[in-house]
């Protein structure tokens, strides 16, 4: 699985344009809200990181599709393949999140940094399987990108207090954000963490099951 | 090359082509006595050992080794796409040391049959039995745009249990047999179509699978590489592999062991 | 064998070999020398022996090893009845062919 992860990482790193977007988009999100109400930029940069990594995952999933069947034939198990890819994406996610955490620490001393770090961690954890799951359902990158766009847009627009917004994968980001920025009670933190972990488990399952079905050992073939 | 070295090389070449041992001995002895009678150097009288060996093989005809055990058995394969039946009761048995060609018009289901044998597509009815490791080369695709050829080799090799350096060396060697220097550092998307197909083919043969399923892998090959490809197929046959080639070019059919027409 | 001479040779060399064997049985180097003496030039071993192998495979000649009193054992080739028949037929066809070509040339090339 290590080899799959390494190669997936190399693939992502070679796509210069994607890397640039990954690194700079969240910055654009951050700066766009910096003048605003305190801490709004923190919320936005977290969403930005989530969107950027999900998009990277979407494209990584699409690129992998042509090689996966033959890798399966070469002897890899299905979980090696999506596991390695997730590992590479999470590595990239951590590499992007770290400088932004630093930026927030330096630029916004009044927020709860531990909580912000938690948001970033959950965002990275959720974004990677989100992108892969969408690419499995919508094999063409254009449709997948539009769906991601819609998710992020809704995330920004919908009132987090309403129950419908909990269906969005990054709802935890705003919930824990409230805890971190407005220094509210621990309830926000707990609800956010539960939501984040829940979506993480859900999306991971979707990716695993999707891969298992797509790359299954077909019953008509007997290898002896 | 001095005479003894030339004769030894000739013996090796003939053996490699699967020429019967007795015939080999006679051919080499006759060449030796001709050289001692004429006093000419071997290279000018006969040319390179490999070239002379090929001429001998063409004249003598290949020793048809008795085919070995069954390596691929497809039974009663039915497949339809929507209302259109594509494969109806297709049977295919390929033994070790045999080459099977699947021929037919466009859309006749050749690629589908191969994909069913590779386990990538499920048939509506029928079974496929494979004895040994399987290698598959699609008509196109199957490569990763942003990875270097070497990285492809390592990736596929790791699946087959090969270490990095072994996989890299193996891949480069096989690429060289198709007249391609795979060490040039260019990601797959920058390779020409024919070269990318060579990458595809090398990945399929990496790790030496026992059964090879090739779907017109020579797309974009120049004439020399096309010839090299078929020479590889014959040498795999001699090495005891079972090979299935989907092709709609009919020029090699006289040398394959089975033809399945769809 | 390059050029036009080579092309002509490729067409008739096996028949010439059969013709030489019709006189008496012979071995490879001797055949090559006879072809040279007849004016066809040096025929390389790499060209001649595959032809002999093919003639063997198609049953027009048979071969046997004979111990030489001086020198190595040699593979001697002999014409078979089928070979004699094929030679007779082809030689006749060749005469007709050569006449036709000659007739065409005579019109162009003043003699």
Tens-place pLDDT, residues B205-262: 998 899 999 999 988 888 888 888 888 898 888 888 999 999 877 777 777 888 888 8
Interface check for B36 against chain C (CB to CB < 8 A): the answer is yes
pLDDT grade for A14, boundaries at 50, 70 and 90: confident
Tell me: the pLDDT tens digits for A51-86? 999 999 998 888 888 888 889 888 888 889 999 999
Give the position of tokens 């220097």. Answer: B181
Between chain A and chain B, the number of residue pairs with CB atoms below 8 A apart is 85
Q: Which residues of chain B have pLDDT under 50?
A: none
Tokens of A7: 């190669």
Q: Is B85 helix (H, G, I), strand (E, B) or coil?
A: strand
Is A70 within 8 Å of B204 when comparing Cβ atoms? yes
Residue of A4, A72, A73 best to disrupt the B interface, most CBs of B under 10 A: A73
User: Which of C29, C46, C74 has its CB closest to that of B47?
Assistant: C46
pTM of the complete model: 0.71
Tell me whether residues A74 and B145 touch, CB distance under 8 A: no
Note whether B129 contacts A11, CB cutoff 8 Å: no
Number of H helices and number of E strands within chain A? Answer: 9, 1
Beta strands in B36-138 (DSSP E): 70-81, 84-95, 98-103, 125-130, 134-137
* Helix then strand then coil, % of chain B, to nearest 5: 45, 20, 35
Cβ–Cβ contact B1 with A under 8 A: no
Task: Match 């990158």 to its residue by tokens.
Answer: A141
Over residues C52-65, the pLDDT tens digits come to 999 998 889 999 88
Q: Is the ipTM of this complex over 0.90?
A: no
Instruction: Tell whether A141 is within 8 A of chain B (Cβ).
Output: no
Under DSSP, the state recorded for B147 is S
CA distance A214 to A210: 6
Cβ(B206)–Cβ(B171) below 8 Å: yes
Q: What is the pLDDT of residue C2?
A: 65
Say if residues C9 and C1 touch (Cβ distance below 8 Å): yes
Q: Are residues A220 and B127, on separate chains, in Cβ contact within 8 Å? A: yes
C2: contact with B, CB 8 A cutoff: no
What would the two tokens of residue B53 be? 């060996």
Q: Which of A10, A14, A71 has the CB atom closest to B156's CB atom?
A: A71
User: Residues of C numbered 24-83 whose beta carbons fall under 8 angstroms of chain B's beta carbons: which are they?
Assistant: 27-29, 32, 44-46, 49-51, 53-54, 57, 65, 71-75
Partner residue facing C75 (CB), from B30, B45, B51: B30
Q: Once rounded to an integer, what is the mean pLDDT over residues A8-12?
A: 87
Statement: residue A91 has pLDDT above 90: yes
The structure tokens listed for C54 are 């093919």
- Residue A166 DSSP label: G
Burial label for B39, CB within 10 Å (0-12, 13-18, 19+), is exposed
How sure is the predictor about A38, in pLDDT bands with cuts at 50, 70 and 90?
low
- By C-alpha distance, the chain A residue nearest B161 is A75
Whether residue A18 is predicted with pLDDT greater than 60 in this model: the reply is yes
* Burial of B121 (C-beta count, 10 Å sphere; 0-12/13-18/19+): middle
Shortest Cα distance, chain A CAs vs residue B89, angstroms: 14
B34, B49, B56: best to mutate for the C interface, most C CBs within 10 A? B34
Average model confidence (pLDDT) across chain A: 86
Residue A137 pLDDT exceeds 80: yes
- Nearest chain C Cα distance for residue B14, angstroms: 13
Interface contact B211, partner A, CB < 8 A = no
Q: Does B64 touch chain C (CB under 8 A)?
A: no
């Amino acid at each position: 699985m290590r080899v799959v992860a390494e190669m997936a990482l190399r693939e992502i790193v070679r796509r210069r344009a994607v890397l640039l977007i990954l690194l700079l988009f969240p910055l654009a999100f951050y700066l766009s809200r910096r003048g605003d109400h305190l801490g709004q930029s923190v919320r936005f940069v977290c969403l930005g990181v989530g969107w950027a990594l999900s998009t990277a995952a979407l494209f990584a999933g699409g690129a992998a599709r042509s090689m996966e069947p033959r890798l399966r034939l070469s002897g890899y198990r299905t979980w090696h393949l999506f596991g390695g890819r997730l590992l590479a994406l999470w590595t990239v996610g951590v590499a992007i999140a770290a400088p932004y955490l630093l930026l927030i620490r330096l630029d916004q001393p009044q927020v709860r940094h531990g909580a912000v770090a938690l948001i970033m961690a959950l965002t990275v954890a959720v974004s990677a399987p989100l992108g892969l799951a969408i690419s499995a359902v919508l094999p063409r990158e254009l449709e997948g990108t539009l769906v991601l766009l819609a998710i992020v847009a809704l995330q920004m627009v919908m009132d987090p207090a309403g129950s419908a917004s909990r269906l969005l994968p990054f709802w935890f980001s705003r919930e824990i954000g409230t805890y971190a920025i407005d220094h509210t009670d621990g309830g926000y933190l707990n609800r956010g963490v539960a939501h984040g972990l829940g979506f993480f488990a859900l999306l991971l399952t979707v990716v695993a099951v999707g891969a298992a079905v797509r790359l299954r050992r077909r019953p008509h073939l007997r290898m002896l | 090359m001095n005479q003894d070295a030339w004769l030894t090389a000739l013996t090796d070449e003939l053996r490699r082509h699967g020429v019967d041992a007795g015939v080999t001995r006679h051919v080499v002895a006759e060449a030796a006595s001709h050289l001692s009678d004429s006093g000419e150097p071997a290279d000018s009288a006969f040319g390179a050992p490999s070239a002379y060996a090929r001429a001998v093989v063409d004249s003598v005809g290949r020793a048809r080794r008795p085919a070995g055990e069954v390596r691929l058995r497809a039974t009663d394969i039915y497949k339809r796409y929507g209302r259109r039946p594509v494969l109806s009761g297709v049977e295919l048995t390929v033994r070790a040391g045999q080459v099977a060609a699947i021929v037919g018009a466009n859309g006749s289901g050749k690629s589908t049959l191969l994909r069913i044998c590779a386990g990538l597509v499920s048939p509506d009815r029928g079974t496929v039995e494979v004895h040994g490791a399987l290698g598959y080369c699609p008509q196109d695709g199957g490569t990763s745009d942003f990875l270097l050829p070497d990285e492809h080799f390592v990736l596929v090799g790791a699946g087959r249990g090969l270490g990095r350096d072994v996989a890299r060396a193996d891949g480069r060697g096989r690429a060289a047999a198709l007249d391609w220097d795979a060490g040039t550092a260019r990601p797959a998307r920058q390779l020409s179509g024919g070269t990318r197909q060579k990458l595809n083919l090398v990945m399929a043969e990496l790790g030496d699978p026992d059964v090879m399923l090739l779907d017109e892998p020579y797309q974009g090959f120049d004439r020399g590489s096309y010839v090299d490809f078929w020479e590889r197929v014959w040498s795999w046959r001699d090495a005891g592999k079972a090979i299935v080639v989907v092709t709609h070019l009919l020029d090699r059919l006289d040398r394959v062991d089975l033809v399945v027409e769809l | 064998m390059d050029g036009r001479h080579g092309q002509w040779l490729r067409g008739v060399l096996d028949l010439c070999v059969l013709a030489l064997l019709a006189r008496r049985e012979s071995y490879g180097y001797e055949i090559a020398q006879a072809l040279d003496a007849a004016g066809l030039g040096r025929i390389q071993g790499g060209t001649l022996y595959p032809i002999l192998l093919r003639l063997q495979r198609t049953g027009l000649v048979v071969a046997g090893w004979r111990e030489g009193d001086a020198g190595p054992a040699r593979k001697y080739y002999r014409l078979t009845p089928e070979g004699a028949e094929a030679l007779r037929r082809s030689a006749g066809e060749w005469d007709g062919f050569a006449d036709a070509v000659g007739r065409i040339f005579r019109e162009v090339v003043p003699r």
